[in-house]
Amino acid sequence: MAYLFAFCRLLTGIVFLMSAVSKLRGRAAYEEFTVATRALTRLPARPVAALVVAAEVAVAPLLAWPPTMLAGFCVALGLLAAFSVAVVVALRRGRRVPCRCFGASAVPVGPGHLARNAVLIVAAAAGAVHAGTGAVPADLGAAGLAGAALAAGAAAVLLSAIGEIAGLFTSSP
């Protein structure tokens, strides 16, 4: 169970850190994200974009410190729920908005993004349940931690590319 918890914790932290860094890597990247946000919500795009990025930045440090792990998982779950709702709304309205979750992807939001969010929701929920028990994370040792980190890193890279992967199997209009 300790390995699964470490995997969930690392996967969630890595994914949100990658997402925040991709948006903050330059002015153009942030503007692209803000434009995509404007297309996905009726709320003012600039404050929503800033709030999303701030929350994404907060997830990894919250997960790194045992007393705030549950809060980190809860922030991640809130973001994932909001992202999923935004994708569903865009799909129902027929909007072909590019996902700027992990950078400059031109692939419009779609079922692949919902599948990615579902996997991340399961990982964050499992981590939250474990963190909510108040159990102190077990010491996995260097090899165990390295194995969990390698698996979580590989899963994070795969999940960050799911939109492009799904785009390979869908027809272009």
DSSP 13-36: HHHHHHHHHHHHS-HHHHHHHHHH
Specify the amino acid at residue 111: P
Average pLDDT over residues 10-25: 92
The pLDDT assigned to 167 comes to: 67
The pLDDT assigned to 95 comes to: 81
Share of the chain above pLDDT 70, in %: 94
The pLDDT assigned to 170 comes to: 66
Distance CA 73, CA 85 (A): 18
The pLDDT assigned to 162 comes to: 81
Average pLDDT over residues 36-42: 75
Distance CA 29, CA 48 (A): 16
pLDDT at 166 over 60: yes
Rg, Å, the chain Cα set: 16
112 against 118, higher pLDDT:
118
Average pLDDT over residues 156-167: 82
| Residue 81 CB neighbour total at 10 angstroms | 13
Whole-model pTM: value is 0.88
Average pLDDT over residues 58-70: 95
pLDDT at 169 over 70: yes
Average pLDDT over residues 66-84: 95
Specify the amino acid at residue 139: D
pLDDT at 119 over 80: yes
| Residue 108 CB neighbour total at 10 angstroms | 19
Average pLDDT over residues 57-61: 97
